[in-house]
Structure 1
Amino acid sequence: MGYPDNVLAADERVVLHRHPHWKRLIGPVLVLLLTTALAAFGAAVVNTTGWDQTAKNIVMLVIGVIWLIVVGWLTVWPFMAWRTTHFVITDRRVMFRHGVMTRAGIDIPLARINSVEFRHGLSDRMLRTGTLIIESAAQDPLEFHDIPRVEHVHSLLYHEVFDTLGSEESPS
């Protein structure tokens, strides 16, 4: 039993489960490629020098440690953050969970949602992503960035809200 199944009520049903759009991983992948190329170039330069083998080994170790720190911080960590961010719509609520070491989240009952909006610019439209804005009865509007296929999610959530409210308030 994986997430989000382990946080659902007995008869609750998942309608949609998404991670943020993959565009969040473009920067970390570019950092990985650039850092690896620079580390390989540095190792090749050190290897061609006439230094003592102990000095070469120490410099290679320093290059490796710097590579590991940069890749861990700017590549692995963002990937883990992307992987542990969940946007879930069930037949009862909207759930948003995020965080690697420390988890945080919010649940919005569908019955408390007043309006659902989306926003996306030209690049977001080309990548089929955007920001979903949910206004609930008790809070300021909440913005969820980089939701894949945001127009579809907007429509789906809108219909789920009106199905929850009942047919007397549903649009014709």
Structure 2
Amino acid sequence: MTTDTAAPSDHPRDGASGTIERSLSWLALESDEEIRWHGQPRLQTVYSWFAVAVLGMVALSAAVALDVLSVRGLLWLPVFAVLPLWQYARIAKTVFVITDRRLATRRGVLGVTVNSVALDRIQNTTVTQGSLGRLIGYGTVVIETAGGSDLAFWNVDEPLAVRAELESSADRLEKGGVPGTPEQWQSVLEEVRGWRRAIEECEGE
């Protein structure tokens, strides 16, 4: 599946971003929290499961036709059919997210499991890619965190870019910055000005 690696400035809090945030409602974003990246495992990785299912059903049918297995062996055909469908559902229900303050994963077909870790708890990140992954551009980003609650963004597109975004977001958080939004600071400024005018009026009396 495709992933979104756009910069924060490309994620306004309205329009297309509103659709993104509604699709990530399970994450319960804070009002000033920005999505840095979100994605899913690559859909094409399920193809191998379809190949296994087809080969399994062909082999099973041949075994029954040659009397190697009884006709009851055909009862296993639905099992082979379910395998790729289950993997597809597993991928479709898995989401990975990086915000400006945490990373999170959502997974689960019948139930939902959400894991969230603050960026300041990240200790190390590694990328693993098999030969096929290197060829067509997908891999797994493993995130080691303080306390041992490691997470993995598995089979994502452009894993090196994902790791770069993750480390960049963590660095920005570590270096710090002015908390709050410009609107919040403007409100504080107006209130301070009000206090100053009140003090000046008191002094003039």
TM-score, length basis structure 1: 0.70
Map 1:114-133 → 2, pairs under 5 A? 114-133=123-142
Q: Which runs of 4+ in 1 moved over 3 A?
A: 31-41, 65-70, 140-144
Larger proportion of strand = 1
What secondary structure is seen at the aligned counterpart in 1 of 2:23?
coil
User: Per-residue deviation at 1:37?
Assistant: 7.0
Partner of 2:172: 163
- Which shifted more, 112-121 or 101-110? 112-121
| Partner residue, 2:38 | 17
Q: Identity over the aligned pairs, expressed in percent?
A: 24
Once the two structures are TM-superposed, the CA of residue 102 in structure 1 deviates from its matched residue by 1.9
Q: 1:66 Cα deviation (Å)?
A: 5.8
What is the rounded CA distance, in whole Å, between the counterparts of 1:163 and 1:88 in structure 2?
17
* Pair 1:3-2:23 in alignment: yes
Q: Which residue of 2 aligns with 1:79?
A: 88
Q: 1:151 aligns with which of 160, 165, 168?
A: 160
1:15-94 to 2 correspondences below 5 Å: 15-31=36-52, 33-34=54-55, 67-72=77-82, 74-94=83-103
Instruction: Please give the alpha-carbon distance, in whole angstroms, between the structure 2 residues aligned to 1:99 and 1:25.
Output: 16
> Which residue of structure 2 lines up, in the alignment, with residue 103 of structure 1?
112
Q: CA deviation at 1:34?
A: 4.8
Q: What amino acid does structure 2 have at the position aligned with 1:126?
A: L
CA offset at residue 78 of structure 1?
1.0
Q: Name the larger-Rg structure.
A: 2
Q: For 1:113 and 1:95, how far apart are their aligned partners in 2?
A: 12
Secondary structure, counterpart of 1:125 in structure 2: helix
Paired residue for 1:135?
Answer: 144
Higher RCO (CA 8 Å, separation ≥ 6 residues) = 1
**Unpaired runs of at least 5, structure 2:** 1-18, 66-70, 178-205
Deviation at 1:67, TM superposition (A): 4.7
SS at match of 1:87: strand
Question: What is the distance in 1 between the residues matched to 2:130 and 2:56?
Answer: 31
Q: TM-score, normalised by structure 2?
A: 0.60
Alignment partner of 2:139: what SS? strand
RMSD of Structure 2 on Structure 1 (CA): 3.0
CA distance in 2, matches of 1:124, 1:156: 19
Cα displacement (A) at 1:70 = 3.3
Deviation at 1:164, TM superposition (A): 1.1
User: Does the CA-based 8 Å contact 1:31-1:71 persist in structure 2?
Assistant: no
Cα distance in 1, alignment partners of residues 100 and 86 from structure 2: 32
Conservation of the 8 A alpha-carbon contact between 1:135 and 1:141: yes
Q: State the distance in 1 between where 2:76 and 2:131 align.
A: 37
**CA distance in 2: counterparts of 1:75 and 1:141, whole angstroms:** 27
